[in-house]
């Protein structure tokens, strides 16, 4: 695809070559994300960071990615603080906000809302998550992480074995990741969820039609054996009719070090789109895994900045200008990456 000036609404718009190109550009962003080099390539550009649904890392990492390229960020958080709460349409909001920004990232609880917004926007729009539908930048950073983690083990994405655990019905990160995997070959997926939170049938049919192997399971211990990647997710309680309904599914699958040691292979990589629900009734990914070197959750969040910088640079067509306009940082940096 031609990235310049494009909206990023869902992962189906990417070919395998597009994904490889994003990953290459993301690699080249590492010196900036690690605070070794500084670029001002987006000096004067404004990001409209519009999060009408709760977010921590997606919102902040998109903002930081833009800042690291030298641009300014203007933010709206929460629907109550916006004119949408006064009955304004996505069309009007998009027309207005796109007059104030060079690019917009938007998140909203309604599936399809970001596409509706983008259709009226005068600048490119990136989907920061629309309901249970899509979360394209999360899927890209997840797949980037998978490819780098497997790469260290001499493996590639094609042929990998991945176990997806938890709320596969409402989890948009899982939905986008499954769609992105369509671009690869011979993936062996084990889907571990309660019956009521199964991955919707259309994803399974599409994965199988692409030649991937899909096995469904209700048991964590047997499902995570022989997996290269175990990808755990949170019960998406905000998408249930009531908190009580969501409560039924919390804590059904809990991964901790003891279970990991007994059932996983020595190098199985543990991932989670975060936030992990660490409350006692859920505790889906125990803190006793924090020192496990195969816990990749914070590498995922670091990689999110690289991917988001890459998307900005490609959409705004500045990739080639970055290194030419950059310099070393002039402050002492004690950060460990």
Residues that bind ligand ASP (CB under 6 A): 129, 135, 138, 172-173, 234, 236, 273-274
Residue number, 197 or 274, with CB nearest to ligand ASP = 274
Q: Distance between CA atoms of 173 and 304, rounded to whole angstroms?
A: 13
Instruction: Tell which residue, 220, 228, 295, has the closest CA to residue 257.
Output: 295
Strand, coil or helix: what is 106?
Answer: strand
Q: How far is the CB of 236 from ligand ASP (least distance, A)?
A: 6
Residue number, 102 or 237, with CB nearest to ligand ASP = 237
Tell whether the torsion through CA atoms of 243, 246, 251 and 254 is positive or negative: negative
Residue number, 250 or 318, with CB nearest to ligand ASP = 250
Burial class (CB in 10 A: 0-12, 13-18, 19+), 152: exposed
Phi/psi class of residue 251: alpha, beta or left (left: φ > 0; alpha: ψ in -120 to 50)? left
Residue number, 53 or 149, with CB nearest to ligand ASP = 53
Q: How far is the CB of 56 from ligand ASP (least distance, A)?
A: 8
Residue number, 53 or 228, with CB nearest to ligand ASP = 53
Q: How far is the CB of 280 from ligand ASP (least distance, A)?
A: 18
Q: How far is the CB of 55 from ligand ASP (least distance, A)?
A: 6
Dig out the tokens for 252 from the structure: 């059904």
Residue number, 42 or 199, with CB nearest to ligand ASP = 199
Q: How far is the CB of 95 from ligand ASP (least distance, A)?
A: 26
Q: How far is the CB of 287 from ligand ASP (least distance, A)?
A: 18
Q: How far is the CB of 246 from ligand ASP (least distance, A)?
A: 12
Strand, coil or helix: what is 160?
Answer: coil
C-beta neighbour count of 14 within 10 angstroms: 23
Dig out the tokens for 119 from the structure: 């259709």
Q: Distance between CA atoms of 197 and 235, rounded to whole angstroms?
A: 9
Q: Distance between CA atoms of 84 and 93, rounded to whole angstroms?
A: 8
Kind plus residue range of the DSSP H or E element containing 75: strand 72-77
Residue number, 102 or 130, with CB nearest to ligand ASP = 130
Q: How far is the CB of 240 from ligand ASP (least distance, A)?
A: 13
Residue number, 24 or 238, with CB nearest to ligand ASP = 238
Q: Distance between CA atoms of 4 and 199, rounded to whole angstroms?
A: 33
Q: Where do the DSSP E strands lie in 95-202? A: 103-108, 125-130, 161-165, 188-192
């Amino acid at each position: 695809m031609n990235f310049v000036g494009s909206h990023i609404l869902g992962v189906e718009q990417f070919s395998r070559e597009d994904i490889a190109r994003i990953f290459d550009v993301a690699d080249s962003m590492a010196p900036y994300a690690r605070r070794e080099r500084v670029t001002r390539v987006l000096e004067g550009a404004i990001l409209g960071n519009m999060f009408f649904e709760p977010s921590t890392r997606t919102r902040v990492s998109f903002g930081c990615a833009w800042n690291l390229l030298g641009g300014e960020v203007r933010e709206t958080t929460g629907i109550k603080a916006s004119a949408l709460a006064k009955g304004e349409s996505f069309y009007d909001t998009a027309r207005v906000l796109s007059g104030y920004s060079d690019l917009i990232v938007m998140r909203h609880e309604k599936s399809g809302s970001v596409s509706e917004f983008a259709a009226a926007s005068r600048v490119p729009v990136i989907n920061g998550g629309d309901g249970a539908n899509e979360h394209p930048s999360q899927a890209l950073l997840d797949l980037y992480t998978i490819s780098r983690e497997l790469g260290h083990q001499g493996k590639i994405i094609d042929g990998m074995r991945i176990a997806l655990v938890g709320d596969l019905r409402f989890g948009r990160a899982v939905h986008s990741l499954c769609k992105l995997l369509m671009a690869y070959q011979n993936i062996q997926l084990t889907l571990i969820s309660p019956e009521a939170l199964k991955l919707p049938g259309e994803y399974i049919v599409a994965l199988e039609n692409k030649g991937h192997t899909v096995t469904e399971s209700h048991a964590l211990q047997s499902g995570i054996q022989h997996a290269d990647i175990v990808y755990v997710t949170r019960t998406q309680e905000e998408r249930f009719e009531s908190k009580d309904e969501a409560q039924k599914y919390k804590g059904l699958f809990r991964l901790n070090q003891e279970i990991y040691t007994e059932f996983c292979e020595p190098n199985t990589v543990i991932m989670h789109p975060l936030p992990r629900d660490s409350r006692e009734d859920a505790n889906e990914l125990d803190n006793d895994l924090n020192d496990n070197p195969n816990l990749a959750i914070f590498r995922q969040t670091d990689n999110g900045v690289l991917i988001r910088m890459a998307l900005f640079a490609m959409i705004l067509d500045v990739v080639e200008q970055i290194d030419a306009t950059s310099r070393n940082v002039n402050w002492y940096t004690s950060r460990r990456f």
